[in-house]
């Protein structure tokens, strides 16, 4: 026989709901803060490599001439005539 009244059962249900609700929000907020921290560190390491132990030049330009990457091995016109 269940001696708990409607008020007690309602309070228990509300307590379970609140526990799941708060726990879920802590989980989401914790994940967000972790990802924000990792992203901030990554952006900082790219922008200021000397602060993070890197010896690179930091942010590099997207131009192959400026960055030193992707040297073309044939002129533009011949690329489209293959």
The percent of residues in the chain predicted with pLDDT above 90, rounded, is: 33
14 vs 3: CA distance, rounded Å: 18
Q: What mean pLDDT comes out for the span 7-11?
A: 90
pLDDT computed for residue 6 by the predictor: 87
Q: Which residue has the higher pLDDT, 1 or 80?
A: 80
**Higher per-residue pLDDT: 31 or 46:** 31
Contact between 49 and 58 (Cβ < 8 Å) = yes
String of DSSP letters for 40-59: HHHHHHHH-GGGGT--S-SS
What value does the mean pLDDT take over residues 19-25?
91
């Amino acid at each position: 026989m269940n001696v708990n009244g409607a008020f007690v059962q309602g309070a228990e249900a509300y307590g379970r709901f609140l526990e799941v609700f708060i726990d879920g929000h802590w989980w989401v907020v914790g994940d967000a803060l972790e990802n924000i921290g990792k992203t901030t560190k990554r952006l900082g390491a790219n922008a200021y490599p000397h602060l993070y132990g890197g010896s690179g030049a930091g942010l590099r330009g997207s131009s192959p001439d400026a960055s030193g990457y992707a040297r073309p091995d044939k002129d533009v016109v011949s690329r489209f005539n293959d």
